[in-house]
Structure 1
Amino acid sequence: MTFDLFADDTPQGRETLGPSAVLLRGHALPQAESWLALLEQIEARSPFRHMYTPGGYRMSAAMTCCGELGWITDRRGYRYSATDPLTGQPWPPMPDAWRALAGEAAQQAGFQGFEPDACLINRYVPGAKMSLHQDKDERDHSWPVVSVSLGLPAVFQFGGLQRTDKTQRVPLFHGDVLVWGGADRLRFHGILPLAEGEHPRFGAQRINLTFRKAG
């Protein structure tokens, strides 16, 4: 199946990417417009920043978080923290609408009772990317990851349990929700460099919200 990354309409429907990986096309579209204001409120309290990996690499996607816990990286390593190191304050609360959508999407993918306590918010501008990695800093890997795409389209790489495994290339559009857990929970994944473009509401950027049960 092929898609035009800059088609006018987000494709609809459900796609299976693995035994426990489901893509819900356009699932967040009914709420996406109202989420822009919520994003601005979170950014006002915990601004986007470019974090550094333990090896000193500056991440090309800017990041902030909301919820009881936020993911951080620096010379000391990857970890979750209840405090934003940039402000010294707790992360902004996770909006109820976000928590509810993440739980409902997880349920549709076969994961009951998912209540995220962390939402990682990545902002990609054209050229920004995310290298192949595993989401493994959470305490309990039995809970899924729920990822919401907003703004410009992107190409998601979904690999295997080894970094060298072959990857699928999956176009992600505004409003898409991707859920993976179970046998797929520790698969390597990433985002190819974002193409130039302008979204009518989100501008020249892609926002990715990643919900997790970290604590």
Structure 2
Amino acid sequence: MSARLPVLVTRPEPGNAATVARAAALGLDARALPLFAAHALPWTAPDPGDFDILLLTSAQAVRLAGPELAKLAALPVHAVGSATGAAAAAAGLRVECTGATDAQDLIDAMTSYDRPRILWLSGRERSVFDPRGATLTPLPCYGVDPLEAPAAWDALTAAPAVVLAHSTRGAARIGALAGARRAHLSLIAISAKAAAAAGDGWAGVTVTPTPDDAAMVTAAHHLCQKAQK
């Protein structure tokens, strides 16, 4: 039986520690290698009466929103992923819908029967989505800044390993740092867009069926089990 593959967790804290703990509970050799740090931005909640829906695409928006978030409690939440939905519910928000894929699919579903006014509590850097005729108003409440590659990055990517990409921006950074080493690295991406952002040439790419941490760790477990046979 071969040695265990290390599982490299690159997402920002506090999610990084949660993923490492989840993976370790399954017996994986999980390593914390955060490539970004998230921080709160100053923002002011608008009048919730001007909107019909609060869109949340990351649990970081809930964690870092601060006291202004309570002013939006009247709005029904549409969340991407179970972790974001759970964070919103824990913060006292009313979660009406949790999407199992990505934000565009969620927007498509909510605009198929109406043209709602959507307030998107977002990060400073964000993807571009088609509002499908609705009004989509992004309001940044947090930023995510790149960190220097951790000291252990070169050593851990010099041999086969599993790398987790929890976002499109994170996947692009992983791809840039991995370079030619991607030929012996297996990538697990939270979405097809994240996988595309990481580029080609990986030893293997897995896109999780749902955009959440549990699915990513499960995929890593399967890969590591397969490698040990």
TM-score normalised to structure 1 length: 0.28
Higher relative contact order (CA 8 A, sep 6+): 1
Higher strand share: 1
Higher helix share: 2
